[in-house]
Chain A
Amino acid sequence: MRGKIPILVTGLITGALAIFLMVRGNPPNMGLCIACFLRDIAGALHLQTAAPVRYLRPEILGLALGAFAAALATREFRVTGGSSTVTRFILGALVMIGFLAFLGCPLRMTLRLAAGDLNALVGLAGLVTGIGTGVLFISRGFSLGRATPVARANGYVFPGFIVLLLVLFLAAPALFAFSKEGPGAAHAPLALSLAAGLVIGVLAQRTHFCLVGGFRDLLFFRDYYLLTGLIGLFAAALIGNLLIGNFHPGFANQPIAHTDGVWNFLGMTLAGLGSVLLGGCPLRQLVAASEGNTDAAVTVFGMLVGAAFAHNFGLAASPKGLPPAGQLAVAAGLVTVLALAAVLTAARSATTEGSVARGSGS
């Protein structure tokens, strides 16, 4: 258990900060949500134009910068790239479409559960189904292949982009589109959001906090390390919700959620499958991108584009449910990711096969 204390504390602090951010203005049961906040950023950047979901969420900027600083300080900043980059971009876009069919990433799913939103339980079942399916492919040889070291400057591009967004936000906020009503208009004060993001970014970088990885490692290795973080997140959020009177068990009338079980399940199946093939949840991708992993940075950009498509083409869910175009997109996304996983599993990456050398060593 002793080795699990840092990640447990990371989960607890993340859960507590999520509730605090909600109390201070973030949307209900959305103190933190990497998928929703990337979608809001896509809106702020005019990549999508859905009026209620546009804001340059400082939590995301803080998270990336906190992880970047922690990786630099501990000499864990390693710049790599070239592992199925375009495939990762597309997978990033598709998992975002899945998350927006459910209305949340695994982080918000946990926060919704901790507020009594039982639709999130359906989402969780879908997520675990997707992760389990991905685990089957990976154990049969699926791989996106090896990244290789690339020039160090490449690693600064993603954190540099984040710094640019932050500077522009402070110096020229009129450049961005911000919601006047709806979830995008609900936000905690900038400094608070940024500081919370920084803290979580540092902790997530140090502990490799990943919510998809929690279930993956449990299925693969019977390893509870990452899942301990998710349990901490749930526990702190549950206690916080009980303290502020925000625990309302049930399916109906949950904030920024819908009750269409089939699409809550299938949306998260798509997202869970895609995320496990990518090597982690949106939070983990954001942290890896800030640690110099340029493939993870491309994945994050894929998520931004996926969010833009989801809203520009009416694929995202609303509290009314998932529109027919969104249902088609989730179904097509699932077929695409399953086909891709099957083809890449059949190909059995030669790089993975060749990673063990045996002989008389020193």
Chain B
Amino acid sequence: MEAVVDVRGLMCPEPVLITRRELERLQKGRVRVIADAAAARDNITRLAQHAGWRVTVTAEGNAWVLLLEKE
């Protein structure tokens, strides 16, 4: 199972809010987050790391993909 969270086009704090809701629901596993604002990318990275998720960010076209993983 991998959840995909698309927060493109949303302004703060919605990207973080939506991602947090999904991380709290899943507790662990893999979540792919697609963001197109640098603020969203950095805020989600901070939130996820704080909650113990490993974060890998890659630039893909006009967006960033954040792979969040937790065992």
Per-residue CB proximity of B17-57 to A under 8 Å, as 1/0?
A: 11010100000001010001111001100110010000000
- The verdict on A143 contacting B14 (CB below 8 Å), with A78-B36, A149-B36, A208-B42 known, is yes
Residue A108 is within 8 A (CB to CB) of chain B in the complex:
no
Q: Which of A71, A78, A295, A362 contacts B62 (CB 8 A)?
A: A78
* Minimum CB–CB distance for A200 against chain B, Å: 17
Contacts of A80 in B (CB 8 A): 9, 36-37
CB proximity of B37 to chain A, nearest CB, Å: 7
Q: Known A-B contacts: A213-B13, A352-B10, A352-B14. Give 19 more (CB < 8 A).
A: A3-B46, A78-B38, A138-B13, A146-B9, A208-B38, A208-B43, A210-B12, A213-B12, A221-B16, A223-B50, A280-B11, A352-B18, A355-B6, A356-B3, A356-B4, A358-B4, A359-B1, A361-B4, A361-B30
Q: Are A291 and B38 in contact (CB under 8 A)?
A: yes
In the complex, chain B residues whose CB is within 8 Å of the CB of A74 = 38
Q: Is the pair B2, A362 in contact by a Cβ cutoff of 8 Å? A: yes
The reply on A357 being an interface residue by CB < 8 A is yes
Report the bound CA distance from A3 to B46 in whole Å: 9
CB of B5 within 8 A of CB of A221, answer: no
Closest chain B residue to A222 by CB distance?
B50
* Chain B interface size range: 20 to 34
Partner-B contacts on A (CB < 8 A): 3, 71, 74-76, 78, 80, 83, 138-139, 143-144, 146-149, 208, 210, 213, 216-217, 220-221, 223, 225, 278-280, 288, 291, 293, 295, 351-352, 355-362
- Distance of A149 Cα from B61 Cα, bound (Å): 12
In the bound complex, residues from chain B placing their C-beta under 8 Å from that of A143 are 10, 14
Question: Of the candidates B1, B18, B62, which one forms a contact with A360 in the assembled complex, judged by CB atoms under 8 Å apart?
Answer: B1
Q: CB-CB < 8 A to B9: which residues of A?
A: 80, 83, 146-148, 351
The reply on B7 being an interface residue by CB < 8 A is: yes
A138 and B17 in contact, given A143-B10, A144-B11, A148-B9 (Cβ under 8 angstroms) = yes
| CB <8 Å contact, B13 and A225 | no
A361 to B3, CA, bound (A): 7
Is A208's CB under 8 angstroms from B2's CB?
Answer: no
Given A223-B46, A225-B46, A280-B11: A357 and B6 interface contact (C-beta under 8 Å): yes
In the complex, 27 of the A-B residue pairs with CB atoms within 8 angstroms, ordered by the A residue number, are A74-B38, A75-B59, A76-B38, A83-B9, A83-B10, A83-B11, A139-B17, A143-B14, A146-B10, A149-B36, A149-B62, A208-B12, A208-B42, A213-B13, A225-B46, A280-B12, A288-B11, A293-B11, A352-B14, A355-B7, A355-B18, A356-B5, A357-B6, A358-B4, A359-B2, A360-B1, A362-B2
Which residues from B are CB-within-8-Å of A352? Answer: 10, 14, 18
Q: In the bound complex, what is the Cα–Cα distance between A359 and B32 (angstroms)?
A: 12
Contacts of A213 in B (CB 8 A): 12-13
Nearest B residue to A296, CB-CB: B11
Q: B13 contacts A355, CB within 8 Å?
A: no
A278 nearest CB neighbor, chain B only? B11
Residues in chain A near residue B20, CB distance under 8 A = 221
